[in-house]
Structure 1
């Protein structure tokens, strides 16, 4: 139950993009077409879960006892980058050289994005009260929340007819208005999902 509660709370109640407004820039820039949003959202979801899963034990077992908790952001970037490079190497094993190079070029961007999304830092901030189940559920839930935000934003943005938007609001302004309305919608339902498994 702790895992499910943390999963749904992180995905819906504390959505990193729309509730906490972290990672909004990457969503606004990349969520252009719905077809691309599934791919990008899945990459970020996996990277966020991968960055968050080792974050809690790394913080509680190594950084806190040694008194170097201020190095947590750097450590999370390095750990998530290393894990993502290993996963990309395994995925690119049977592919062409160009495909492998493209995968490895994307790895640092995805790893930094996952660390910037601060799942690991969020887990570390409540490490004293958090269990391993809750930390894992929070990491996976945050990744699913980012996937949900990217896909929903791409579909809503795709449905906006630029011809019907006033000239002063075309382009980035209507995108920001859309993002703010979606953030308001997520804030309006906050607290519902976390209470389902309490």
Structure 2
């Protein structure tokens, strides 16, 4: 039950993109087309999950006993960036040059996003002395929440009919209005998902 509670709390109640507003710029810049959002969101999910899976044991066995727990975000950062580039290299293997360049560009944006996600994940590890189940659920849920936010935002942007938007609001302004409404929707349900499995 702790695993499910941590998973849903991290994914919906404490969504890193829309509730904590971390990594919003990369979501706005990259999540333009729905087909790209699945790839980008999957890479962010894998980076967040693996950085939590590897970063939490590093924190509990190395940083906490030595009294250097303030370096926890650094562990999540290094692991998240490394995972992002490894996933990009695996995805680019055997592709033509233009596709490879696009994948490497996306991997760089995911690495930047992983660096942004590392700070709240590291701070959460420091704040809560939790079990491995809670850490696993939190990291998987943080990645899942970022994936949901990226894909939902890409589909919303795709559905906005620019012809019906006033000329002053076209482009970035309507994107920011949409992002603020989605963030408001996520904060409106905060506290509900995590309480389902108590």
TM (normalized to structure 2)?
A: 0.86
Task: For residue 106 of structure 1, report the CA deviation from its aligned partner.
Answer: 5.1
Write the distance in 1 (CA, Å) between the matches of 2:91 and 2:168. Answer: 45
- Aligned pairs (5 A) from 1:144-155: 144-155=144-155
Task: For residue 70 of structure 1, report the CA deviation from its aligned partner.
Answer: 3.0
C-alpha RMSD over aligned residues: 2.3
Task: For residue 80 of structure 1, report the CA deviation from its aligned partner.
Answer: 2.8
Task: For residue 87 of structure 1, report the CA deviation from its aligned partner.
Answer: 5.0
Question: What SS does the corresponding residue of 1:195 show, helix, strand or coil?
Answer: helix
Task: For residue 138 of structure 1, report the CA deviation from its aligned partner.
Answer: 0.6
Task: For residue 88 of structure 1, report the CA deviation from its aligned partner.
Answer: 5.2
Write the distance in 2 (CA, Å) between the matches of 1:106 and 1:149. Answer: 17
Question: What SS does the corresponding residue of 1:57 show, helix, strand or coil?
Answer: helix
Aligned residue pair count? 196
Please list the CA deviations of residues 110-137 of structure 1 after superposition, one character each: whole Å capped at 9, or x if unmatched: 3342231135314422342x11001000
> What is aligned with 2:133?
133
Task: For residue 186 of structure 1, report the CA deviation from its aligned partner.
Answer: 0.8
Pair 1:68–1:176, CA change in 2 (3 A)? same
The answer to which structure has the higher helix fraction is 2
Pair 1:64–1:112, CA change in 2 (3 A)? farther
Task: For residue 169 of structure 1, report the CA deviation from its aligned partner.
Answer: 1.1
Please list the CA deviations of residues 82-106 of structure 1 after superposition, one character each: whole Å capped at 9, or x if unmatched: 344555556666x358577876665
Task: For residue 159 of structure 1, report the CA deviation from its aligned partner.
Answer: 1.0
Write the distance in 2 (CA, Å) between the matches of 1:159 and 1:132. Answer: 40
Please list the CA deviations of residues 145-189 of structure 1 after superposition, one character each: whole Å capped at 9, or x if unmatched: 111001111111111111211121111111111000001111111
5+ long unaligned stretches in structure 1 = none
> What is aligned with 1:2?
2
Pair 1:38–1:164, CA change in 2 (3 A)? same
Question: What SS does the corresponding residue of 1:71 show, helix, strand or coil?
Answer: helix
Pair 1:132–1:123, CA change in 2 (3 A)? farther
Task: For residue 54 of structure 1, report the CA deviation from its aligned partner.
Answer: 1.6
- Aligned pairs (5 A) from 1:15-30: 15-30=15-30
Write the distance in 2 (CA, Å) between the matches of 1:105 and 1:160. Answer: 26
Task: For residue 193 of structure 1, report the CA deviation from its aligned partner.
Answer: 1.0
Write the distance in 2 (CA, Å) between the matches of 1:190 and 1:89. Answer: 37
Asked if 1:36 is matched to 2:36, the reply is yes
Answer whether contact 1:6 1:137 (CA < 8 A) is retained: yes
Question: What SS does the corresponding residue of 2:196 show, helix, strand or coil?
Answer: coil
Write the distance in 2 (CA, Å) between the matches of 1:174 and 1:91. Answer: 33
Task: For residue 36 of structure 1, report the CA deviation from its aligned partner.
Answer: 0.8
> What is aligned with 1:120?
121
